[in-house]
Structure 1
Amino acid sequence: MKVLVGWCDPTCEAKWKEVDLSYRDIPLQSWLGDHCFIKKHIDSDLIPLWIKGPLDIWHKILKQVKTERNARILRWPVYDRDFLPARMDKRFTQWSQKGITSYWKITKNNELKSFKQLQDNYNLEKCDFFRYLQLRHYYNKSIKYLEEDEAGILKILLDSSNGRPPKKTISKLYACLQTERKCNKTYIKTKWEKEAKITINEEVWLNICNSVIHMSSSGLWKEFSWKCLVRFFVTPNIKSKYCNDTEKAKCWRNSGNVSAGHFHIFWECIKIAPYWSEVIKEINTKMDLNLCCDFTVVFLGNLPRN
């Protein structure tokens, strides 16, 4: 994604960018608003793999309805295959040479600028007025934002096109992707509640998630604790569904359980229960605490705030 930001940013000067932009006569920046056009080139052998890579990632993001629709603002009228007048009238090529490139450049507050403004800024002639009407009609029908995104990936590309690339680009892109995925861990809480036959309120769940983050300075143990919390490991129950074999759902410790899920494997199994009793007893003795041997406290990490 950072490559796309570099393509759009006119202040970015790099040899790799010169090489990328030299492969086709049509500017790569103008492709970013047309997912069908991108798909066509991803499937062909006309461009090298290091250009296909970023385009493929962008194409997957564009599959979201809102993103695909709003990203059309990145198109250039002269190269817009859906804008028929540009395909029949070479005058739009001259517009491009005068500086009328992408749609975002000639809009303000989601509206196409007036003909007078374009005439003053780009030295258009009176005979261009009809072409302007054609462009305005097409813009209002097919390009105009359905809903403006103030903090999404498209905003980053538009700011970069204006010569204002974000600082810490990778972090900003990552944050946008995570937000658009609408990641939510509530479904994990629900699974624990169902298996353990308990109720975990929102405050407790937040405390559990925070405990995992702050429980150790070791990245290795943080990762392991997080994997336990989010039910990362494959249990006999999960394996039986993969293999379509109910026999494989039995507890691998031969405890007699015929449907061993995460709660059983990590807590309930009669062969591991004594281990947890010893662990909590030792902690209470050494640290002079009085923690109860409870699943949400010992395993999930709902520790007292003090």
Structure 2
Amino acid sequence: MLHTVGDGPIPMALEALAFAKPNKKYPTYNLIQKVWNKCKYVQQADGYTDYSPLWHNDTYTELAKLQIGGGWKSHGVTHIKHVFRHGRLRPLADLRVEYGLPSSMLFQYMQLQHAVRAQSRSSEWHLSPTPVFSLLGDAVSSKGFISECYAILLQYFLGQHPVMVREKWEKDVGQLDGEQWEEIFQGVSSCSLNVAQRLTQLYIIFRVYYTPRRLQLMGMQTDDVCTRCKRVHGDLIHLLWRCPKLHKYWSEVMSTVNSVFGVSMPVDPRVCLLGVLEEHVEEVYTREAVQRALFQARKLIMIHWKSETPPTLREWIDRMGE
């Protein structure tokens, strides 16, 4: 039942939420509405889509004036995709064939045609491209569904923010080629089975954590010194890698990983922080296991983010056994 909600596909139900007013009585309703609108924003779907509702939609001021939705709805014509094709209103003859419209709908069709022209000041209507909408509408199984949605949204996000993220990391860890960046982002899905933990890895990649350096630039604290060593500017690469108090931790973790998995990987930030493993670990299943082990090592640093003491090898081993 993944592809249906009530009598309609999921994207139609979600688009109905997107154009509805928030309801303070139902926080879950509002949360779904916010998430869906954010999904549309990431896809740059800033206008109408194939799944936007035609009727009872206050954003269509001209259509709202008509109040003629009843006759159309009784024949299953409820959303933009039903009456538009490639941004143009479909001929009445086509709609009659597909939806069995009676000849008495001619006048209502003329009203609809006039409202569309008045709304858009043209006979065409710009529709935003929305791959996730199509995926939701066509989905028949939950297997791999979340991963596909995630991949599409990530592709859009990277299309908007690739240069800044790449430049900052390469300044910190050295040059990374296109294949390595592809591995970095593919590794997000294999670093953990837990979606929330995968999000943690994305936060690391996109450098969203509030470091002492960032907090000082924001005017939220007076200094930018590392909370652990108290000596150096606390930027992201320092707190995750360069801090002297982390040297022993990372050396012990990598020594253990190499010993347990029978591999030979360097103590390198590209390996430990970003998961660039393919050139060091050939076997796919071993690589996935190493990804998860190293992610837990990174996760412990995040847990100790504001602590003066670094994580320990014992903590990491215990966490791996959970």
Deviations 1:112-156 (A, max 9, x none): 44344556732223xx64543332233356385424637332x46
CA-based RMSD: 5.0
Q: Which residue of 2 aligns with 1:114?
A: 91
Shift of 1:86: 1.9
Give the counterpart letter for 2:16 in structure 1: L
Q: 2:16 aligned with 1:32, yes or no?
A: yes
SS at match of 1:66: coil
CA distance in 2, matches of 1:177, 1:286: 32
Deviations 1:151-176 (A, max 9, x none): 332x467x5xxxxx631369657744
Q: 2:240 aligned with 1:266, yes or no?
A: yes
Shift of 1:68: 3.2
CA distance in 2, matches of 1:172, 1:283: 32
Q: Which residue of 2 aligns with 1:25?
A: none
Structure 2 gap ranges (5+)? 283-322
1:1-306 pair list within 5 angstroms: 5-9=4-8, 32=16, 35=19, 38-39=20-21, 42=22, 54-55=32-33, 57-58=35-36, 66-70=45-49, 74-76=53-55, 81-83=61-63, 86-87=66-67, 92=68, 95-96=71-72, 99=75, 101-102=77-78, 103-107=80-84, 110-116=87-93, 121-125=100-104, 129-139=106-116, 142=120, 144-147=124-127, 149=129, 151-153=131-133, 155=134, 159=137, 166-168=139-141, 172=145, 175-176=148-149, 179-180=152-153, 182-184=156-158, 186=162, 187-196=164-173, 198-209=174-185, 226=201, 229-230=204-205, 231=207, 234-241=210-217, 244-247=220-223, 249-254=224-229, 256-257=231-232, 259-277=233-251, 291-303=265-277, 304-306=280-282
- Bigger helix fraction: 1
Shift of 1:75: 0.7
Deviates more, 1:138-147 or 1:168-177: 168-177
Paired residues of 1:236 and 1:250 also in contact (CA < 8 A): yes
SS at match of 2:114: helix
**% same residue:** 17
Deviates more, 1:264-273 or 1:166-175: 166-175
Instruction: Give the alignment's TM-score, normalised by structure 1.
Output: 0.59
Structure 1 gap ranges (5+)? 13-27, 160-164
Instruction: Give the alignment's TM-score, normalised by structure 2.
Output: 0.56
